[in-house]
Amino acid sequence: MTRRIFEELVDSIAENGEILKQQVCCETNSLLGSCLADLCRMDEETSKARLAVIDASKRLIHLVTGPYDLFYDMMSEVFQVGVICEVEPEMFGHTPLLVLCVYDPVATRSCMWNLNIIFPVASKIYEGLKVDPTASDNTRCAASLELGFQDYVKATTRSVYYSSLHTVRGFNWSSIQTVVDIGGSSGHVSMALAEAHPHLHCIVEDLPDVISGGRETLRPTYADKIEYLAHSFFEPQPVATADCFLLRFILHNWSDEDVCRIIANLSQIYRSLCDPASIVRYMDCRMLALFGGHERTKNDIVALVQGVDRRLVWESCTQPEGSVASFLALQCI
């Protein structure tokens, strides 16, 4: 179909162009202006041929260049992004932003992050708002729906390897009165501890939003056993009288430098850690890919801790059977 129209247009231009050519040849140069429209003695046949050439040429341009209006609409969308602009009518050029992206690797990566991560996630905002119109539940936000990150976390924490029962059973809690559950989230580990060891007083520390969520949902049975404290582990530890600081799945997504800052903010440390096993190596890779952090062996931790405070000395390491993590006990001498 397109081929037939193309051939008809080319033939029409050739045929009518021939008629125009004859007229042009009859004119003396002095009478011919800057274009054929200026032909002074144009008879009816020539006039028709001229209009036919104009019409066929326009249609041929559209056929060869594609639907220009649609193309222009699409370009107008691209203008909004700010990387291409219309330098002059129908002439497109790069903006300084695009030039920056070409020469600055940080700007390029930032654009790629937006294109690969943010834009696909943002496309799920509508679905997220349909299930959670207040947009207050991060398990149903666009990122969770698109990337399934919360499901991944849920599935991991549900597995037996990560069970809080290992924390409950794997350590001799009888000598401890007060435990600070650093980065304790909504307090699920403290609840398991309080249930199994009723003498324990647990203080759950986490970021303010997490703490207010935990406080609101705490069951009355735990009211006198668990308290909540909004605190960042990058600030000096406010609870000076605790017997034990529990850091469960806290250090592994931070760099050595950050881990040193976290440790330096504590006066005594008890840290659960496992010896390298295949599951830990797997976790190690995930921490590296997601946060630039990594899992640490007993020796890694001891070296880090000693670098921060030489009074903190290695006491014991026990790995509850079936647990991915171990208890690493360090004592302040």
Ligand X SMILES: C[S@@+](CC[C@H](N)C(=O)[O-])C[C@H]1O[C@@H](n2cnc3c(N)ncnc32)[C@H](O)[C@@H]1O
Binding site for ligand X (CB under 6 A): 183-185, 189, 206-207, 210, 232-234, 248-250
Q: Which of 166, 231, 252, 294 is catalytic?
A: 252
- To ligand X, the closest distance from the beta carbon of 260 in angstroms equals 14
DSSP 39-70: -SS--HHHHHHHHHHHHHHHHHHHHHH--HHH
Indicate the residue among 237 and 268 with the shorter CB distance to ligand X: 237
- To ligand X, the closest distance from the beta carbon of 233 in angstroms equals 4
Nearest alpha-carbon partner for 62 in 49, 71, 74, 51 = 71
For residue 206, give Cα distances in angstroms to 1, 111, 181, 220. Answer: 69, 32, 9, 20
Indicate the residue among 6 and 249 with the shorter CB distance to ligand X: 249
266: helix, strand or coil: coil
252 catalytic? Reply is yes
Indicate the residue among 117 and 290 with the shorter CB distance to ligand X: 290
DSSP conformation class of 220: G
* Contacting residues for 83 by C-beta, under 8 A, at least 6 apart: 94, 95, 97, 98, 101
Retrieve residue 109's tokens.
């990566």
Cα gap 198→205, rounded to integer Å: 19
- To ligand X, the closest distance from the beta carbon of 101 in angstroms equals 32
Strand 178-182 to 201-206 pairing: parallel
Ordered alpha helix ranges (H), 82-180: 96-103, 105-113, 119-122, 125-131, 142-147, 149-158, 165-169
- To ligand X, the closest distance from the beta carbon of 298 in angstroms equals 19
- To ligand X, the closest distance from the beta carbon of 141 in angstroms equals 16
Tell me the residue nearest to ligand X as measured from the CB: 183
Indicate the residue among 71 and 234 with the shorter CB distance to ligand X: 234
Indicate the residue among 162 and 304 with the shorter CB distance to ligand X: 162
What positions carry a catalytic annotation?
Answer: 252
